Amino acid sequence: MIKEICENFSKYKYLLCQLIVRDFKVKYKRSVLGIFWSILYPLLTMSILAIVFTNFFRFSMPGVNFLVYLMSGLIIFNFVSEATNLAMSSIIANFSLLSKVYIPKYIFPLSKVLFCGINFLLTLIPFYIIVFATGTGTNIYHLLLPFMFICVLIFAIGLGLILSTLAVFFRDMLYIYGVVTTLWMYLTPIIYPISIVPENIQPVLKMNPLYIFIRFGRQIILHNTVPSLQHWIACFGISVFFLIFGLILFKKQQEKFIYYG
């Protein structure tokens, strides 16, 4: 299966690139600032959230800058949320094309996740502007962050394959998942520290894949420490598990997609 995917990836890489370019053109069509919105939008969003939670709700994080704490979690959550939402509807949106020519079906959810991945890299520009502006600064351990991003990317691809498969057979998933992501956000310590959660609930929240990824990044960015070996294994293991499960489910069901178009 892996060999077949690699061969198809090489054969259809031009199509994959064109799908990603198309998504950028559609997203920023008739926009004056165009792709710069990928940089400006998270900066404005973070500023608003920082004002709300530091002035109205009086949130603070002892020893670290709250804005950096907030943004380090939110950019990861936003990437996974957007990538999986777009991937989920990608097969349904391209039924007309799939019925006319042969194209590896996984190309569509994969292109959506990679498109969001490029947007994620652009959001790192305002993120590091805030890191330096708040005096948080950087350290040599920041060179380890690409590992975390690759794990999050793999996780999003796997989850995107799972959701795109389910959405073909259960269209209600397109609406239910919006509720799930909202709940997922509040169950992930993005805005609040996990220490304020009752101790008997903390173990459950710590099993949240997004919490594991976010905590990995925060240990480096906010605490200038290298995550433990167990944390490295957890990040890698979760991402690979979702990818393998997604590939198996997608491959097993993809021949049935055409009957639900």
pLDDT in tens, 15-49: 888 888 888 777 767 665 566 766 677 667 767 77
CA distances from 257 to 164, 193, 260 (A): 10, 42, 6
- pLDDT score of 225 more than 60: yes
pLDDT tens digits, 146-193: 999 999 999 999 999 999 999 999 999 999 999 999 999 999 998 888
Q: What was the pLDDT predicted at 97?
A: 80
Question: Averaged over 193-205, what is the pLDDT?
Answer: 89
Degrees to nearest 5, angle at CA 47 with 44 and 52: 130
In this predicted structure, which of 121-125, 219-223, 230-234 has the lowest mean pLDDT? 121-125
Check: CB of residue 246 under 8 Å from CB of residue 159.
yes
Q: What is the number of other CB atoms lying within 10 angstroms of the CB of residue 139?
A: 11
Tokens 């710069």: give the residue.
Answer: 36
Question: Averaged over 203-229, what is the pLDDT?
Answer: 94
- Three-state DSSP state, 36: helix
Degrees to nearest 5, angle at CA 182 with 157 and 232: 45
Contacts of 106 (CB under 8 A, 6+ apart): 5, 161, 247, 250, 254
Q: CA end-to-end span of the chain, whole Å?
A: 25
Could you tell me which residue, 102 or 206, shows the higher pLDDT? 206
- pLDDT score of 245 more than 90: yes
Question: Cβ-count burial of 209 within 10 angstroms (0-12 exposed, 13-18 middle, 19+ buried)?
Answer: buried
CA 20 to chain centre: 16
CA distance 246 to 241: 8
Share of the chain above pLDDT 70, in %: 85
CA distance 47 to 1: 45
Q: What is the domain partition of the chain in residue ranges?
A: 2-23+33-260
Going along the chain, which residue ranges are E strands? Answer: none
